């Protein structure tokens, strides 16, 4: 057992990647729609579900260890820092790992209800995406963050196109070209930062950025801005959020639900780089992006909710709500204090689960509405109005932040944390108005779909959704209710978010592992440099 314990931090990355390789070796069912009962597909489902379940257990164990306040560091192959790859699991990383497992398990279960048979290699791609997500959450190095970003993006390009069709291909092309541009900017930002500090290790960066002064600090801040563009693009920050609704609405439901956690990778990266490295105590570069981040975050949530009000399909509405919730989380982040960060983490966990659930629910409802599908027009009644209606009500109430659901708790914590901020009035009015408008948008959608039905049309689907699809959606929404029940322990966990700002502890944990090894990283002086 101690052997497993010693290698625990790397397992969230290793497990999905090995599973993906195994799934590739098993092969594919051939991709035709008649393959539902194919032997290879059945095995792929069992292996993938087992792997994700195991991943959930590992993530839970990591959260348990991280909750004690210890920062777990793992050096791949025991290579010292500048050459080796450091995996660092602290409270934030462990929480994100658990969140991605909690989203992945029901979503994968939902996908085994039929979507995985509509294209090739769904399960292998899903595992590669999980590997990228988990890797981004645990890596302790900015360049490896880039690599894991690419891993998850490449998997997401293929997953986004899963099921094919003209619309997916058209939107997928936007998505991919924009992401390629963002990745190029990421490299430029990383290079600038490396030129100034001589390291890309997040712990080392945390120690060296505060020491940069004078004109060099301006370059470091330029790198921070470039990285904000990149991460803001992933997280759909205001001027860069317009691609998201079209992309997520075009993707099939389980993929869109999984993308809900992919958006949070951007938020996570902003937290790590701008919240901590360029946060308080960063010397000349302290709060480098703070003046613009707060207005942009407020604007993002307003834009998201306006888009949700204007949406003409249910999936687009949910996709716009993703933007709105990211805005709210980024508001919490840009307040730069521990209470707000705790609120933001809590709200982020909840909103990710709710939005993933809403994406699945949107497809369940759409499948029972005949030709109208998910368009918000009066159509034939759904065949399970009570069940789907109650689920919709639950999800809507949590998304809008009605008590006693966790969305409310998260927003309340956020409002409390912003009481002595100079922007308090703006923050309070925006957050409350966004919650109210979210409620209106979802109430409009719900009343059109469940009450404003046309009885002259025949019912859309004679039978209800299969128990598997309902079960997966229910599981996701039940998790959010559980977040409300266990609000106190979760809040205690997120309240320890100030661990993040303790850059010395982060660096010490990293250094303890590479104790007795001389530091070999040096600032780039133009004459010598190690190729990475």
Footprint of other proteins (CB under 8 A): 143, 146-147, 150, 153-154, 157, 161, 164-166, 169-170, 172-174, 176-177, 180, 183-184, 187, 531-532
CB of 166 to other proteins, least distance (A): 4
Q: For residue 27, is it left (φ>0), alpha (ψ between -120 and 50) or beta?
A: left
CB of 183 to other proteins, least distance (A): 8
Q: Are 458 and 372 in contact (CB under 8 A)?
A: no
**Buried b or exposed e, range 240-250, using 16+ CB within 10 angstroms:** bbebbbbbbbb
Q: Would you call 6 helix, strand, or coil by DSSP?
A: helix
- Residue 522 or residue 532: which is nearer to other proteins going by CB? 532
Q: Would you call 174 helix, strand, or coil by DSSP?
A: helix
Q: Are 136 and 268 in contact (CB under 8 A)?
A: yes
Q: Would you call 139 helix, strand, or coil by DSSP?
A: strand
- Residue 156 or residue 350: which is nearer to other proteins going by CB? 156
Measured distance CA(200)–CA(391) in Å, rounded: 45
- CA atoms within 13 Å, Cβ hemisphere of 460: 25
- Residue 142 or residue 349: which is nearer to other proteins going by CB? 142
Both tokens of 13, joined, read 């990355």
Distances (CA, A) of 412 to 190, 303, 407, 418, 435: 37, 21, 9, 10, 11
- Residue 177 or residue 377: which is nearer to other proteins going by CB? 177
- Residue 526 or residue 531: which is nearer to other proteins going by CB? 531
CB of 161 to other proteins, least distance (A): 8
- Residue 109 or residue 186: which is nearer to other proteins going by CB? 186
Q: How many degrees, rounded to 5, is the angle at CA 85 between CA 84 and CA 87?
A: 140
- Residue 89 or residue 161: which is nearer to other proteins going by CB? 161
What is the full DSSP assignment across 97-110? Answer: HHHHHHHHHHHHHH
Gyration radius (Cα) of the chain, Å = 23
Taking alpha carbons only, the member of 145, 79, 103 closest to residue 253 is: 103
Taking alpha carbons only, the member of 492, 504, 503, 506 closest to residue 95 is: 492
CB of 343 to other proteins, least distance (A): 36
Contacts of 345 (CB under 8 A, 6+ apart): 92, 95, 494, 497
CB of 439 to other proteins, least distance (A): 29
- Residue 87 or residue 260: which is nearer to other proteins going by CB? 87
- Residue 186 or residue 271: which is nearer to other proteins going by CB? 186
CB of 46 to other proteins, least distance (A): 30
What is the full DSSP assignment across 26-94? Answer: H----S-GGGTT-HHHHHHHHHHHHHHHHHHHHHHHHHHHHHTTPPEEEEGGG--TTTS-EEEE-HHHH
- Residue 150 or residue 216: which is nearer to other proteins going by CB? 150
CB of 365 to other proteins, least distance (A): 25
- Residue 66 or residue 160: which is nearer to other proteins going by CB? 160
CB of 246 to other proteins, least distance (A): 8
List phi, psi (to 5°) of 522.
Answer: -135, 155
For residues 149, 155, 157 and 161, what is the CA-based torsion angle, rounded to 10 degrees? Answer: -160
* Residue 421: cis peptide before it, omega within 30 degrees of 0: no
């Amino acid at each position: 057992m101690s052997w497993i314990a010693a290698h625990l931090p790397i397992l969230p990355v290793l497990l999905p990647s090995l599973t993906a390789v195994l799934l590739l070796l098993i092969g594919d069912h051939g991709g035709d729609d008649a393959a539902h009962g194919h032997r290879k597909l059945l095995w792929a489902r069992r292996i993938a579900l087992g792997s994700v379940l195991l991943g959930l257990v590992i993530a839970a164990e990591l959260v348990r260890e991280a909750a004690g306040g210890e920062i777990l560091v793992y050096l791949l192959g025991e290579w010292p820092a500048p050459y080796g790859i450091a995996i660092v699991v602290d409270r934030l990383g462990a929480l994100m790992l658990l969140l991605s497992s909690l989203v992945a398990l029901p979503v994968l279960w939902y996908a085994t209800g039929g979507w995985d048979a509509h294209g090739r290699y769904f399960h292998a791609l899903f595992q590669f995406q999980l590997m990228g997500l988990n890797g981004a959450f645990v890596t302790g190095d900015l360049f490896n963050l880039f690599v894991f970003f690419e891993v998850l993006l490449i998997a997401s390009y293929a997953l986004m196109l899963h099921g094919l069709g003209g619309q997916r291909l058209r939107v997928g092309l936007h998505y991919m070209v924009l992401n390629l541009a963002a990745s190029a900017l990421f490299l430029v930002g990383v290079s600038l930062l490396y030129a100034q500090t001589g390291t890309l290790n997040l712990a080392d960066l945390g120690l060296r950025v505060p020491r940069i002064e004078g004109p060099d600090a301006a370059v470091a801040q330029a790198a921070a801005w470039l990285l904000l563009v990149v991460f803001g693009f992933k997280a759909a920050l205001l001027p860069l959020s317009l691609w998201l609704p079209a992309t997520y609405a075009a993707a099939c439901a389980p993929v869109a639900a999984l993308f809900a956690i992919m958006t949070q990778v951007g938020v996570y990266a902003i937290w790590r780089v701008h919240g901590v490295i360029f946060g308080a105590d960063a010397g000349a570069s302290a709060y480098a992006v703070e003046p613009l981040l707060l207005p942009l975050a407020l604007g993002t949530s307003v834009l998201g909710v306006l888009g949700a009000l204007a949406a003409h399909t249910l999936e687009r509405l949910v996709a716009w709500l993703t933007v709105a919730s990211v805005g709210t989380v980024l508001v919490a982040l840009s307040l730069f204090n521990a209470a707000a960060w705790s609120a933001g983490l809590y709200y982020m966990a909840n909103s990710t689960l709710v939005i993933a659930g809403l994406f699945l629910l949107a497809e369940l409802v759409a499948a029972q509405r005949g030709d109208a599908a998910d368009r918000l027009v009066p159509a034939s009644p759904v065949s399970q109005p009570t069940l789907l209606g109650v689920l919709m009500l639950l999800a809507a109430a949590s998304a809008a932040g009605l008590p006693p659901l966790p969305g409310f708790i998260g927003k309340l914590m956020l409002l409390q944390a912003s009481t002595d901020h100079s922007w308090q009035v703006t923050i309070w009015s925006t957050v409350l108005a966004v919650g109210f408008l979210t409620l209106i948008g979802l109430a409009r959608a719900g009343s059109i779909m469940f009450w404003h039905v046309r009885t002259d049309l025949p019912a859309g689907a004679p039978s209800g959704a299969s128990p598997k699809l309902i079960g997966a959606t229910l599981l996701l929404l039940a998790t959010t209710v559980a977040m409300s029940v266990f609000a106190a322990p979760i809040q205690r966990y997120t309240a320890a978010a100030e661990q993040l700002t303790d850059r010395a502890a982060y660096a010490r944990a990293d250094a303890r592992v590479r104790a007795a090894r001389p530091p070999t990283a040096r600032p780039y002086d133009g004459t010598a440099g190690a190729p990475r």
